[in-house]
């Protein structure tokens, strides 16, 4: 590990296959016959397709931009290319107006997202992340909704040091963002230890197999040294996928949009497996992993005012064995590469490809590319998409402690030194950490004789909020939004805890304090916090106003529905108060809040993504 204090400058915010150019195969025939009109001409590809093509396999002019010390930014084209390297250029939106008034440039800095397949993190990796966070804005480790780490506020001159330091301990930012497959998720479920170990192995194999193969990342950030992952990275892979020599899987234009994969082990669906482009649902019988049900076509993002965009839950199409899972993932990615929309990025996600072509066509094409038939799906059952808290014993005799980390933000506050506490645990812990898709944390594989030591540190540094937090607070997700996200229309992470505090007054009076009611918030409709799977969902519309959604399934198998549009904090409370009180008095035995809002007619059930915008009162 290099001396980070010498290699990094501290930054502090002032506040908080190649795309086809033709619409159909008839184009070449038409060219032979006659000139064609504009209405017949090929659709124009989105500008990002050209950026990818010109990037020379993800190089662009990023290094030249970083070397330019006259400003803190890089060019707009390079901002798109840098996403493939796990980097986003951002600025502190809290100080934009003040800096503009003084004719200053924006307060630019970068976000680095660090992949952790399945959210498994060793103590050694945690120690490196803790040290890196000391040289970033907010002095914070951020746990994402996709089981990764984020560091906010990195000066561009420090990016290489951050990336190489991660690589030293088998972490990478490669493909954490961009039009490729991103961090592969998996239940942080160490309770069924043997099954989880096997599923985690498949998770890591898929994640490694789908990494871009361009040498650009290694050349630019690692001085040509190899990328280190938790499983060996096969130098020759995807050779039958009709890409090209440098990118056998992706080709020079990679995918039309980002691609997301999740693995789930029933009965827990805390990864929201149906919210992903591709899902693998573990089928376990007699304590043995038989294989996975395969689901396709999920995704959360949409655009306000554009009903051609909508969240969509994936559909189960088949079953594969563990040995087939990597090949299934690879071939599904090639289907999206070849058939995804490269003209309109708002309709470029795999969910729209599945919606357009149909799940039966996807299975048929998948089996054609695999060269063999898959089995039909097996039965399974999910019961919850929430996390488990406190101590639990795994079947291997080791113990696991689930911690509630509000907003996934591991930071030292006046009354709770969360970051320092986790650092102290990392120094003595002999197991692993598991990052959850709900932005929480599991201290995993603790020997019985070490529980007291862990407990004492947890209590000393205020990491024991899981003991006192309400059921709603423990069941929340909020995206980062302001001040760093350039897409945010309203607050989210800085807003949701305050809303929950006001709702807790109602919950307490109604006798619902300990009830798990899933509430999720995002600052824009892109869905990073999976708000459309919240029994209560909030999506930023303009500063201080949100769309309110109700009725998602507690098991993550039903989307919610718009209930009220563009309402304020006070209006949200006024709308939810009578519903919560009615729920407390009139619910049926075992009835979840989302189910109740549908049974009582507050909203109609969303039965598929394509009717998400329909039947709104």
Positions marked catalytic: 113, 182, 258, 260, 479, 485, 524, 528
The three-class DSSP label of residue 522 is strand
C-beta atoms surrounding 29 within 10 Å: 9
Omega before 267 within 30 of 0, i.e. cis = yes
Report the chain's C-alpha Rg in angstroms: 24
> What are the residues whose beta carbons fall under 8 Å from the beta carbon of 286, sequence distance 6 or more?
none
**Read out DSSP for 535-599?**
SEEEEEEETTEEEEEE---TTS-SB-EEEEEEE-HHHHHHHHHHHHHHHHHHPPTT--HHHHHHH
C-beta atoms surrounding 258 within 10 Å: 20
Q: Running DSSP on this structure, what letter comes out for residue 524?
A: S
For residue 159, give the H/E element and its range. Answer: helix 159-168
Angle between the 325-339 and 350-357 helix axes, to the nearest 10 degrees? Answer: 80
The three-class DSSP label of residue 281 is strand
For residue 333, give the H/E element and its range. Answer: helix 325-339
The three-class DSSP label of residue 332 is helix
Q: For residues 334 and 254, is the Cβ–Cβ distance under 8 A?
A: no
> What are the residues whose beta carbons fall under 8 Å from the beta carbon of 518, sequence distance 6 or more?
385, 386, 475, 476, 533, 534, 535, 536, 552, 554, 593, 594
Listed residue (409, 389, 315, 397) closest to 355, CA to CA: 315
**Read out DSSP for 111-156?**
EEEEB-GGGEE-HHHHHHHHHHHTTSGGG-EEE-TTS-EEEEEE-G
């Amino acid at each position: 590990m290099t001396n980070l204090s010498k290699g990094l400058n501290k930054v502090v915010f002032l506040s908080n296959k190649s795309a086809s150019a033709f619409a159909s195969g008839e184009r070449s025939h038409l060219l032979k016959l006659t000139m064609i009109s504009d209405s017949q001409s090929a659709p124009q590809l989105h500008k990002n397709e050209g950026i990818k093509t010109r990037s020379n396999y993800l190089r662009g002019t990023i290094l030249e931009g970083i070397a330019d010390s006259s400003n803190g930014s890089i060019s707009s084209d390079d901002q798109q290319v840098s996403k493939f390297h796990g980097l986003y250029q951002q600025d502190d939106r809290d100080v934009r107006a003040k800096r503009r008034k003084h004719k200053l440039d924006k307060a630019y800095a970068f976000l680095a997202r660090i992949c952790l397949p399945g959210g498994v993190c060793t103590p050694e990796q945690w120690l490196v992340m803790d040290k890196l966070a000391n040289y970033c804005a907010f002095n914070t480790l951020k746990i994402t909704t996709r089981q990764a780490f984020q560091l906010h506020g990195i000066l561009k001159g420090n990016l290489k040091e951050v990336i190489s330091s991660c690589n030293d301990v088998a972490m990478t930012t490669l493909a954490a963002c961009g039009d490729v497959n991103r961090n592969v998720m998996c239940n942080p479920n160490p309770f069924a230890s043997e099954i989880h170990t096997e599923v985690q192995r498949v998770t890591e194999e898929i994640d490694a197999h789908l990494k871009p193969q361009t040498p650009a990342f290694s050349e630019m950030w690692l001085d040509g040294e190899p990328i280190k992952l938790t499983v060996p990275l096969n130098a020759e892979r995807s050779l039958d996928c009709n890409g090209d020599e440098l990118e056998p899987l992706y080709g020079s234009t990679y995918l039309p949009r980002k691609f997301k994969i999740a693995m789930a082990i029933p009965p827990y669906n805390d990864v929201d497996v149906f919210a992903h482009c591709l899902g693998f649902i573990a089928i376990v019988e007699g304590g043995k992993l038989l294989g996975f049900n395969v689901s396709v076509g999920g995704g959360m993002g949409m655009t306000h005012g554009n009903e051609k965009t909508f969240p969509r839950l994936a559909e189960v199409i088949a079953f594969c064995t563990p040995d087939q899972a990597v090949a299934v993932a690879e071939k599904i990615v090639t289907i999206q590469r070849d058939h995804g929309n490269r003209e309109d990025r708002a309709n470029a996600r795999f969910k729209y490809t599945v919606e357009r072509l149909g799940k039966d066509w996807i299975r048929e094409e998948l089996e054609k590319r695999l060269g063999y038939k898959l089995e039909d799906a097996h039965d399974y059952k999910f019961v919850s998409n929430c996390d488990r808290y406190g101590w639990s014993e795994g079947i291997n005799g080791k113990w696991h402690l689930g911690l509630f980390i509000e907003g996934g933000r591991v930071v030292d506050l006046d009354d709770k030194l969360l970051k320092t506490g986790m650092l102290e645990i990392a120094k003595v812990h002999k197991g692993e950490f598991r990052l959850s898709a709900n932005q929480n944390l599991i201290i995993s594989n603790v020997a019985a004789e070490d529980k007291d030591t862990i407990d004492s540190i947890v209590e000393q540094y205020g990491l024991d909020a899981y003991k006192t937090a309400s059921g709603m607070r423990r069941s929340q997700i909020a995206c980062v939004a302001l001040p760093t996200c350039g897409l945010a229309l309203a607050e989210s992470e800085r807003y949701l805890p305050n809303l929950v505090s006001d709702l807790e007054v109602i919950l307490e009076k109604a006798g619902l304090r300990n009830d798990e009611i899933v509430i999720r918030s995002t600052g824009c409709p892109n869905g990073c916090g999976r708000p459309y799977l919240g029994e209560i969902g909030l999506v930023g519309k303009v500063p201080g106003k949100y769309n309110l959604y109700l009725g998602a399934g507690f098991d993550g198998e039903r989307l919610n529905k718009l209930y009220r549009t563009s309402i304020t904090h006070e209006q949200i409370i006024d709308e939810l108060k009578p519903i919560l009180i009615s729920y407390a008095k009139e619910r049926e035995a075992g009835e979840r809040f989302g189910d109740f809002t549908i049974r009582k007619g507050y909203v109609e059930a969303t039965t598929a993504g394509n009717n998400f915008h329909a039947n709104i009162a």
